[in-house]
Structure 1
Amino acid sequence: MSVTTDRPAPSAPAPLSQLPPGSGLRRFKNRTATVVLTGAMVLAMIPLFLIIFEVVNRGIGVVNLEFFTETEPPPRRDGGGYVAGFVGTLYIMALAILMSIPFGIATAVYVVEYGPNRLASSIRFFTDVMTGIPSIFVGLFVYGLLVIGWGGLGFGTFVGAVAIGVMMLPIVTRSAEEMLRLVPDEMRNASYGLGARKWQTIMRTVLPAAAPGLTTGSMLAIARGIGETAPLMLTAFGSGLIVTSFQGEPQGSVPLQLYRGAAQPFEAGIDRAWGAALCLFALVLLFTIAARWIGSRASIQK
């Protein structure tokens, strides 16, 4: 003898027009929170827009072809440019990129693919600590280690690039680690199933899949490093002339020339500093927008 029980049919969801009791209070709280957060965002953006307006207003009249092709004249004289700073910044950033980005991505690969272990945990801990270290401490570290220590390399391009590379390294490592963790394990298992070794899986499957995210993190690190001033004051030291030597001679950079130009009492030098600030702002904005665009394109393709 079988006993059958009739299960009640699932009730249809109530229409949205029939709001349950208390929904009016919830809607009021939601709207209030939305208004408060929107107002807070607007208040936070007001100083940003004021800074942008002031920089553009003061610097747009200085930036021209001469500004990128001529060296800085005496502080009292009008005209001239920061070509030495642009060349030095390009030189330092090229070396810093070669030092930090490959090493940072390799470190993230070890932490994600060969961890977890004590070494990977230690790397993650020190990376988090390095992210919050003030840039002047990095400059002091490189100054004590390379400029006046270990044979006394002196000021120059190489030690400046080391300082900027140290600033960029934790950003590259942490962003690369997060991007590598987003690669599905199914892709790794499929590669192993086809007979690939671990290093082949990493090089041919994991890294290509995470390439857009790795590019985004690297560009954000470049945007951070290109505007640093404090580490270069203690390592590159600065120069108003174009310097091509690798090490042993003070190297110029746009942030250093901007800092020293803004400290001058002469109007011409201050105007050039505003032009340099506008150029740095444009470069950082360009790298940030490009990084966001690459990240959004990667999300759309997925």
Structure 2
Amino acid sequence: MGQGYTLVSPLQLAMSYAAIANGGVCYYPRLVDKVLKQDGSPLLDEQGNPAAPPPRVRSDLRQEIPPDRIELVRKGLWKVVNEDGGTGGRARLKGVVVAGKTGTAQATERGHEENVAWFACLAPFDHPKYVVVVMVQGASGHGGEVAGPIATRILERTLAQDEGKFDMKVAWLTPAHHANPLQLIKAVAYHDAGGNLGSDDEEGADNAQGAAAQMASSDASPDVEPEADSQGSVRRRGSAPVVRTTSAAPQAPRNFFERLFGVRRQPAPAPPPPPPNRRRGTNTR
């Protein structure tokens, strides 16, 4: 995800959003919630404990990040979906407050450029119960247009299943086939999405402009530095000796993902040594 140095998988992003939802605790993911007997009672081990192990904490950020900062992030996620002009407007649901964030990354596959559309959300906002992360690779639209409606459909049916209003039917489907597999997905829309209250406000293209290069004027005099002596000191005309010093680069603070997953940045390369002292010789014949 993204164009920078922070790369995360959909599962890692879901773990991060779960930590934001519960106040700063990141748990290890697991597939089994509980093990039941045929009569519906929990299966116990020899010590009388549930057979399924309890959730394990991976990282606890409550001592590093104040609660007001986590709440600030939660409010920002709420605005993305629920404020006019937000890029996640299509993720709104009737009767349920959703908070989330859209994202659009770029990728190149065999010389063909495409978008990677993202949408991550949590719901219900006041008492989060579910986190949904959707990544669609091979999109020409943005995260709010492509991934947002898919996440909304997952949330809509999951919440309805909790209330006993939706029965998931499992059926065999033929493999998807398209005459042009390189055709990119522009947007996702469901014809029966009557409960979706989304708007048409979506992410715009990134029109970032490159910085213009500044060139020195042609009549500028060259800046020639005198040679250093054997101790690495440089004496400028009419000034005291200047000693080259190498200061250690300040260590950058860990970002949110590095605090959760313990990723460390690679150490900066050591600066090159000062040039050797050159002695001026005389050419004799």
Q: TM-score range by the shorter chain?
A: under 0.3
TM-score (norm 2): 0.23
Q: Please state which structure has a larger fraction of its residues in helix.
A: 1
